Amino acid sequence: MTKDTPLKTDVLVIGCGIAGASAALEAAKRGLHVTVITQATAPEESNTFYAQGGIVSLGPDDDPELLRADIIKTGDGISNPEAVDILVRESKPLVDSILIDELKVPFTRGDGSKLDFAQEGGHSRRRILHVRDTTGRTIEERFIEALRRQPNVVLMADHTAVDLLTVPHHSRDPIAYYHEPRCIGAYVLDNGARTVKRIFAAQTILATGGCGSIYLHTSNPRGTIGAGYAMAYGAGARIVNMEYIQFHPTTLFHRDADSFLISETVRGEGARLKTRDGRTFMQDYSERKDLAPRDVVTRAIYEEMINTNSDYVLLDLASYAKIDIRKRFPNIYRTCRRFGIDITREPIPVVPAAHYSCGGVLADGWGRTSLAGLYAVGEVSCTGLHGANRLASTSLLEGLVWGTRAGRDIAARFEGGVPFKASDIHEWYYPAREEAIDPALINQDWLTIRTTMWNYAGIVRTTKRLERALADLEYLLHRIEKFYREAAMDVKLVGLKHGIRVALMITHAALANPVSLGAHFRVD
Out of 22, 263, 404, 452, the residue judged to bind ligand SIN by CB under 6 A: 263
Q: How far is the CB of 70 from ligand SIN (least distance, A)?
A: 13
Closer to ligand SIN by Cβ: residue 301 or 469: 301
Euclidean distance between CA atoms 363 and 398, whole angstroms: 12
Closer to ligand SIN by Cβ: residue 27 or 55: 55
CB 367, CB 258: distance < 8 Å: no
Q: How far is the CB of 521 from ligand SIN (least distance, A)?
A: 19
Helix ranges (H only) for 308-350 are 325-328, 330-338
Three-class secondary structure assignment of 94-115:
HHHHHHHHHCCCCCCECHHHCE
Q: Give SS3 for 504.
A: helix
* Residue 259: how many other CB atoms lie within 10 Å: 23
Closer to ligand SIN by Cβ: residue 107 or 366: 107
Only segment of 92-100, 262-270, 334-342, 433-441 that touches ligand SIN (CB under 6 A): 262-270
Out of 39, 52, 160, 383, the residue judged to bind ligand SIN by CB under 6 A: 52
**Does residue 47 belong to the site contacting ligand SIN (CB under 6 A)?**
no
Q: How far is the CB of 292 from ligand SIN (least distance, A)?
A: 14
Q: How far is the CB of 263 from ligand SIN (least distance, A)?
A: 3
Out of 317, 380, 392, 411, the residue judged to bind ligand SIN by CB under 6 A: 392
CB 106, CB 15: distance < 8 Å: no
Closer to ligand SIN by Cβ: residue 52 or 160: 52
What is each CA distance from 20 to 12, 43, 70, 102, 319, in whole angstroms? 10, 11, 26, 17, 41
Q: How far is the CB of 441 from ligand SIN (least distance, A)?
A: 34
CB 409, CB 366: distance < 8 Å: yes
Using CB positions, name the residue nearest to ligand SIN: 53
Closer to ligand SIN by Cβ: residue 48 or 160: 48
Cis peptide before 174 (omega within 30 of 0): no
Only segment of 45-53, 177-185, 433-441, 446-454 that touches ligand SIN (CB under 6 A): 45-53
By rule CB under 6 A, what string of x and - marks binding of each residue 264-303 to ligand SIN? xx--------------------------------------
Closer to ligand SIN by Cβ: residue 39 or 393: 393
- Name the burial class of residue 500, with classes exposed (0-12), middle (13-18) and buried (19+) by CB atoms within 10 angstroms of its CB: buried
Closer to ligand SIN by Cβ: residue 141 or 427: 141
Q: How far is the CB of 52 from ligand SIN (least distance, A)?
A: 4
Q: How far is the CB of 399 from ligand SIN (least distance, A)?
A: 11
Name the pairing type of β-strands 128-129 and 55-56. antiparallel
Euclidean distance between CA atoms 132 and 118, whole angstroms: 10
Out of 393, 404, 452, 507, the residue judged to bind ligand SIN by CB under 6 A: 393
- Tell me which residue of 187, 209, 210, 191 sits closest to 200, measured CA to CA: 187
**Does residue 80 belong to the site contacting ligand SIN (CB under 6 A)?**
no
| DSSP string computed for 50-103 | H--S-EE---TT--HHHHHHHHHHHTTT-S-HHHHHHHHHHHHHHIIIIIIIIS
Q: How far is the CB of 513 from ligand SIN (least distance, A)?
A: 23
Closer to ligand SIN by Cβ: residue 29 or 73: 73
| DSSP string computed for 221-266 | -TT-S-HHHHHHHHHT--EE-TT-EEEEEEEE--TTSTT-B--THH
Euclidean distance between CA atoms 86 and 121, whole angstroms: 22
**Does residue 395 belong to the site contacting ligand SIN (CB under 6 A)?**
yes
Q: Of 127, 132, 137, 294, which residue is the catalytic one?
A: 294
Instruction: Enumerate residues 343-382 that contact ligand SIN by CB under 6 A.
Output: none
Q: How many residues bind ligand SIN (CB under 6 A)?
A: 9
Name the pairing type of β-strands 239-240 and 313-316. unpaired
What are residue 261's DSSP bridge partners? 251
- Tell me which residue of 90, 135, 94 sits closest to 117, measured CA to CA: 135
What is each CA distance from 388 to 294, 357, 466, 507, in whole angstroms? 11, 10, 19, 16
Catalytic (active site) residue 198: no
CB 209, CB 452: distance < 8 Å: no
Q: Where on the phi/psi map is residue 222: left (φ > 0), alpha (ψ -120 to 50), or beta?
A: alpha
Closer to ligand SIN by Cβ: residue 47 or 241: 47
- Tell me which residue of 198, 227, 231 sits closest to 213, measured CA to CA: 227
Q: Which residues contact 287 (CB under 8 A, 6 or more apart)?
A: none
Q: Which amino acid is at 130?
A: H
Q: How far is the CB of 475 from ligand SIN (least distance, A)?
A: 34
Q: How far is the CB of 229 from ligand SIN (least distance, A)?
A: 19
Closer to ligand SIN by Cβ: residue 38 or 246: 246
Active-site residue list: 294
**Rule CB under 6 A: which residues touch ligand SIN?**
51-53, 263-265, 392-393, 395
